[in-house]
Amino acid sequence: MRESEIERHYKKLVEEAGGMFIKFTSPSLNGVPDRIVILPGGKMYFVEFKAPNKKPRALQVHVIEKIRKLGCDVRVIDRKVAGL
């Protein structure tokens, strides 16, 4: 299974839940997570998608740790689940 297939699966789940699935890019900072997910009720997540059993690169781990230290919820997802 490819990373893009997992990402499409979650895009569908988020949109069905009434949320937003926003592509996250930063010209001034490499290694940011792939998406910002905003769900009803004010829930917000940064999400890094990976192919099954793949891990974030060292730079991605560094950026994820910095974002988490700021109090944000960052998820690394490498498989499909039935629901949010």
Residues 14 and 33: their CA atoms lie apart, in Å, by 17
Q: For residue 43, what pLDDT is reported?
A: 97
Q: For residue 1, what pLDDT is reported?
A: 85
Residues 69 and 84: their CA atoms lie apart, in Å, by 24
* Average pLDDT score over the chain: 96
Residues 62 and 80: their CA atoms lie apart, in Å, by 25
Q: For residue 83, what pLDDT is reported?
A: 79
Q: Quick check: 82 pLDDT over 90? A: no
- Give the pLDDT confidence of 36-75 residue by residue, as tens digits: 999 999 999 999 999 999 999 999 999 999 999 999 999 9
Q: Quick check: 24 pLDDT over 80? A: yes
Q: Quick check: 84 pLDDT over 80? A: no
